[in-house]
Structure 1
Amino acid sequence: MKKSLIALAVLGAFAGAASAQSSVTLYGRADLNVTNEKAGNDVSPLSTAPGESTTKLNDGGGTTGIGGSRWGLRGTEDLGNGVKAVFQLESGFTADTGAQGQGGRLFGRQAWVGLSSATLGEVRFGRQETYSRLNALYWDPSFNGQTKLNEGNTVSAANAADCQALTGSTATQCASTTTVRSRNYLLFQNFGDRQDNVISYTSPSFSGFRFGAQVGLSEQADDNTSDLAGRYQGVTASYANGPFAAGLSYESIKVADVAAGAPNNLNKTFSVGANYNFGVATVYAGYQRVSDVADGSQITSAAANTVAPSSLIVEDQKSYTVGVKVPLGKLTLLANYGNAKYEIRAFGGQELELRKVALGWNYAFSKRTVAYGTFATRSGDLDDNVAIKREFTLFGLAHSF
């Protein structure tokens, strides 16, 4: 909907003059689905006890829909000599309740301004998506949608005895009804999807090759340095030519000290993926290695109220995925398999394995309106102490503007 004056008039807070060399686009998406989820031995995010089945109306971002509901503004201004000013402001919300997303931020999905040149590349400043989220384009048939691998997986102690063994908590703590005996894991990590205070550069295309770099200024202090705690850094490279596309990235983030005088911890993630379009189908594959994970990291986050969260911290993670997308006119079929193995600190480096299989379809009524359905099941084990099995089926509708 490229109507610069109308978009600015509708959003009076952004009122201003638009020249003939400028453009502003108002865009968005509303995505809702009905989800039936059955928990296994873990406590499902939708249910209140292991084994329960729950049906709810959910926003597409909270489950494996097309994507989270959002609205935004993006625009350009021609500055001459092939240089443009560019910006994007994107706000997320949950369409089932109307509540604001990303912790209540007005523009929690993206908020940046920059300069772009066809010959020199593009530089951006502000809140931006991480490379491990962006590069899912190469290994996920739905690109963080119906078959995504970056959703949380809750690992729970099956009983009070396991709770004590896994978390190092007391019998009283594990017997408490307020104790959450669980921890969240992602099959593919993505540094929280987005980072604040990021300065990024993306090169122009060189015969299909591109590269880029990001630095997220932490703006916080720790015991050893003035500005490293929480600093995000990433580099990426990609190639696209005809039916083949591939991308890789290396990212790290400093974790603030957990004790005075202790050294900073540096969490590191390497991701690579590729896809090939055979015409009748596109196949996808990806691999990720996470190392030196530390307490307090944005790589593996604890569930609320978890007792002794360091006990189930992941030290190392190796993940892979394979998938396929099959276009059949207005109908598209999707399938994806993901596998992750985590080395758990509490078990001296022993492994927890999680697996996910997702099958999906979507039907395009038009370029803007899509109906879809997904079935997914997740399973895993932790040395027979903890077992997880969770499956869900959903049907939804998404409309973009």
Structure 2
Amino acid sequence: MKKMAMVIGMLGAFTGTAHAQSGVTLYGVLDLPIEYVNHMASAAPTVNAATGTVTQQPGGNRFALQTTGGLSGPRWGLRGVEDLGSGMQALYVLESGFGVDDGKSQQGGRLFGRQAFVGLRHGQYGTLTFGRQYTSMFDAFTNFGPLSWAPLYDPIVVQLGSTFREDNMMKYTGVFGGVTAVAHWSFGAGVGALAVQPLAGGGAGETAGHFRDNSAYGAALTYAGGPFGVAVGYDQWNPAVTVGNPGTVKKASVAASYSVGPAKFYVGYRWGDNKDATGNSLVRDDYYWIGANYQATAALSLSLGYYYDDLKTLRLSSTAPAANPANPWQVGFIADYTLSKRTDVYLTTAYAKNAGLNFDTSANGFANGYFLSQGSSNQFGAAVGIRHKF
């Protein structure tokens, strides 16, 4: 009851502010699909880090209301701007993720786990923000994926890494004609879903005498001119299992898009290399994607994406021998029908080979939760859902 009263009080305070200042907006998305998945294990595989052995668990088919949302992560948020004069504005965003199926907070139970930042924006020189935010690579490649970061079947974690949101970040964004430049630095990115071992200080960084521990940085450029677009970006995270001994998780990517009438085509590549504190390569891979969107009617849009991960090196720990798993691939499809400006219904499906859906494998610490059942090498998922924006 106390928690509920606190939230109601907060909303009341913000509502009063909204009446007094037109620059404050309350917004959100409710997205809830019902999903079928086959070859789903009842628990995560067991992993022997010393030998590199992965043992899958028994399971079967699963029907469920999916808490992550199908096309968009459920959220509510507050954003606002204040005009300071001379082309300068103050701005902020507070955004909370939650499951529509159970109402629980996501992102580890954080109140504003999706975004929480404040900053300054100048019409000519760009925007500088501070707080929990998306990485430069996430921002740059948002418009270069056929499934548009759909949380259900877009392999976002494999493409961008688990720290595509980071704590303690300062970020610059500038728009110069058709070119957008983004750069960020995090003093302590947080844990990240790929950290299979506990990180020093809980991944918070900002440790006296050890500036690099759990820090992260990146930069990206995008260009959009007529029907053509291109993006390039680099991202690095320095997770430290012990104080003063960070490893490195590096990613570099390039993508392009081209529009022809009601269709838009995409192609992209991402290089990745994850190393431990001694410089041993744990995961080295080349990730590719290709796909298209098609506006079939004013109300119906269709999206198709194909993803392939070429695993060059895979070790489950610094002491484990190198594994040689089959390379995973996945195809995903979305049919989205708009009922109004704020409400749509959709069908989304995906088939993955040599991995669970969203490339759920030992290469990403089984972070996506689609555990393959014993004896299975492929997985199929399908969901129908409704999404409402406010």
Q: Is the 8 A contact 1:360 1:372 kept in 2?
A: yes
Mark the CA change 1:386 to 1:125 in structure 2 (over 3 Å): closer, same or farther: farther
- TM-score relative to the length of structure 2: 0.77
Task: Tell me which of 156, 164, 175 is aligned to 1:193.
Answer: 164
User: How many residues are matched?
Assistant: 332
Identity score, percent: 32
- How many angstroms does 1:22 deviate by? 5.0
1:23 maps to amino acid: G
Query: Secondary structure of 2:138's match?
Result: helix
Partner of 1:338: 307
Task: Tell me which of 372, 390, 401 is aligned to 2:379.
Answer: 390
Query: Secondary structure of 1:52's match?
Result: strand
Q: Deviations over 1:71-104 (max 9, x none)?
A: 0011110000000001100000000001111111
- TM-score relative to the length of structure 1: 0.75
CA distance in structure 1 between the partners assigned to 2:275 and 2:377 by the alignment:
23
1:394 maps to amino acid: A
Partner of 1:149: 155
Partner of 1:164: none
CA distance in structure 1 between the partners assigned to 2:92 and 2:271 by the alignment:
33
- How many angstroms does 1:393 deviate by? 0.9
5 Å matches for 1:63-212?
65-145=70-150, 147-150=153-156, 186=158, 188-203=159-174, 205-212=175-182
**Which is further off, 131-140 or 110-119?**
131-140
Partner of 1:55: 63
**Which is further off, 385-394 or 225-234?**
385-394
1:367 maps to amino acid: K
Mark the CA change 1:360 to 1:138 in structure 2 (over 3 Å): closer, same or farther: same
1:284 maps to amino acid: Y
1:292 partnered with 2:292? no
Partner of 2:187: 217
Q: Is the 8 A contact 1:30 1:95 kept in 2?
A: yes
5 Å matches for 1:268-287?
268-287=250-269
Is there any run of 5+ residues in structure 2 with no aligned partner, and where? 1-7, 45-55, 189-203, 356-360, 362-373
Query: Secondary structure of 2:66's match?
Result: strand
CA distance in structure 1 between the partners assigned to 2:19 and 2:88 by the alignment:
16
Q: Is the 8 A contact 1:235 1:250 kept in 2?
A: yes
Is there any run of 5+ residues in structure 1 with no aligned partner, and where? 1-7, 152-185, 296-309
User: What is the RMSD of the two structures over their aligned residues, measured on CA atoms?
Assistant: 2.9
2:156 maps to amino acid: N
Task: Tell me which of 245, 269, 291 is aligned to 1:323.
Answer: 291
1:216 maps to amino acid: S
1:56 maps to amino acid: A
Q: Is the 8 A contact 1:73 1:90 kept in 2?
A: yes
CA distance in structure 1 between the partners assigned to 2:350 and 2:249 by the alignment:
30
Q: Is the 8 A contact 1:147 1:360 kept in 2?
A: no
2:12 maps to amino acid: G
- How many angstroms does 1:9 deviate by? 8.8
Q: Is the 8 A contact 1:254 1:267 kept in 2?
A: yes
Partner of 1:12: 12
Partner of 2:200: none
